[in-house]
Chain A
Amino acid sequence: MKDEELQTSKAYQALNQEEPISSPPELDAAILAQAHKAVQAKPQALDKTARSHLTLRWGAPIASAALVVLSVTVFILMPELEQQQALESYKQDFEAAGVSPELLLDDIAMQSEPVMSAPVLAKQERVKASAEKRIKKAKVIQPAAPRLGSFSIQQDSLQSASGAASADFDAMASKPIREMEEKLVESIEEVALLSPEQWSKDILDLIEKGDWLNADNQYLAFAKHYPEHDFNKEYAKLKQRHAAGSE
């Protein structure tokens, strides 16, 4: 094989001798000029390299740090700020509606105690308990949260206040505050069930069952709250009839 290789080598060399191929002089000049230029421009090239090394070395850590700072700002600080703004606006709405943000539980206790009938009392107890829970929850969520307001306030003013608050909350309040506001509206609706009609109906039910003792208690509480209501006259007639009947 070596002889054959030698012969083909010779044939190839003969080809090169017969047809010498060489790079064109202008190409040589261009390449040499490029080589000389590269060496002359070396300090600049080194500067560029050094700069690129610096970028490579510090680019990634700096970018990571910037990302962390941005993430903390967006995901942690922004919700807190929004929450604070929402609470401020909530407080302002209550104050604008003339509602004191204090003493909610005391009022409930004072108004609902001994004269209530069993179902009404139970309902009131439930409202009170749920209100307490909500307030505790609100305190856990945001220690600076204002009290929910008093149940002694007029229903209309409370509803208007909560309506105004909900309008703002739709736009800007954070989720926990919005939930709290919705629950407040629910509790207001529960209190609204104790309307004169409902209450008088409860009293009439008690009379039908013959439970005059509780009916009287309920009526005393009713009369205290609604002294001008027509049911007062009706109850007086019923009471007279019952007295006449029992005599």
Chain B
Amino acid sequence: MKTSYLYSNSSAKAYDKPMQQAANDNVIDRKTDEALMCAYAEGHAAAFDQLYKRHKDALYRYMFRQLGNEALVAEQFQEVWGKVIAKRDSYQAHKNQAKFKTWLYKIAHHQVVDCYRAQGRYREWQKVQVVDEPALETFQYDEPDKHHSRTQMVARVKSLIAALPPPQRDAFLLKEEAGLSLQEIADNTGVDRETVKSRLRYAVNKLRTDLNKESLEA
């Protein structure tokens, strides 16, 4: 009786394997980033796949907007994930201290800064333009009649972001791509909350002013 129960149990397991896999995938899908990272640190490679899938595009965009060069971005992007892989045990040890996303973008931010430093462009991080912008009309980007075209506007946004000073661009991208709060950006970049707030304000003002200028000219 006992043997047949065991047999039937194992055969049921064999039949249910694809279903169990699907269930596992669902469980993984629903898991938080932190739980996935801990699972990966414990040896579950599938957890990393999910984690990577969730963050790869936003992180790649963040790095691409900061560095510009595709080959360089690919190299630095791989470095960042390499560090995530290498530091999985230390993340597990401090799992209650930081959100995975904050931790990931902190690594990425340092990687970007190091890259600037290696290129001899670190001064760009220190030299922050602080210009009080005059109050302008509110920019309405989604009014195609007032603008040449959506494509042109998008190209303009792109060039304006590229023209921002790196610390302001960094704060803006961390907010837009990673969705980090002011405090999280401050923690990541090693400055206080007010500085981040100010950087963001200047970045937004700059974008808005230039886009408005363009729309007025048009």
Q: Is A201 an interface residue (CB 8 A)?
A: no
Whether A28 pairs with B211 at a CB distance below 8 angstroms is no
A1-15 interface with B by 8 A CB criterion = 1, 3-5, 7-15
Task: Pick from B8-16, B54-62, B97-105, B108-116 the stretch touching chain A.
Answer: B54-62
Question: Are the C-beta atoms of B78 and A32 separated by less than 8 Å?
Answer: no
Q: List the B side residues contacting A5 at CB < 8 Å.
A: 200, 204
Query: Would you call B201 an interface residue if the criterion is a C-beta within 8 Å of the partner chain's C-beta atoms?
Result: yes
Residue of B43, B142, B150 near A39 (CB, 8 A) is B43
Q: Is the CB of A32 within 8 A of B176?
A: no
Q: How far is the CB of A22 from chain B (nearest CB, A)?
A: 5
Known: A18-B154, A42-B43. Is A35-B211 also a contact (CB below 8 A)? no
Contact B60 A23 (CB under 8 A): yes
**Interface residue? A19 (CB, 8 A):** yes
Interface contact B141-A10, CB-CB below 8 Å: yes
* B67 interface residue per 8 A CB criterion: no
Does any Cβ of B come within 8 Å of A60's Cβ?
A: no
- Residues of A near B64 (CB, < 8 A) are 21
User: Which of B44, B48, B142, B161 has the largest count of A CB atoms less than 10 A from its CB?
Assistant: B48
Indicate whether A32 sits within 8 Å of B151 (C-beta atoms), given known contacts A7-B138, A7-B140, A22-B57.
no
* A window 65-123: CB within 8 A of B: none
Binding stretch for chain A, among B26-34, B79-87, B184-192: B79-87
- Cβ B158 vs Cβ A32 within 8 A: no
Q: Is B92 an interface residue (CB 8 A)?
A: no
Chain A contacts for B172, CB-based, 8 A: 8, 12
For the complex, give the distance between the alpha carbons of A231 and B155 in Å: 129
Return the chain A residue nearest B141 by Cβ: A11
Interface residues of A (CB under 8 A from B): 1, 3-5, 7-16, 18-19, 21-24, 27-28, 30-32, 34-36, 38-40, 42
With A4-B205, A5-B204 known, 10 other A-B pairs at CB within 8 A are A4-B208, A7-B138, A11-B141, A12-B172, A15-B157, A21-B60, A31-B78, A34-B81, A39-B43, A39-B48
Chain B positions within 8 Å of A, measured between CB atoms, are: 40, 43-45, 48-49, 52, 56-57, 60-61, 64, 74, 77-78, 81-82, 85-86, 88, 138-142, 150-151, 153-154, 157-158, 161, 172, 176, 200-201, 203-205, 207-208, 211
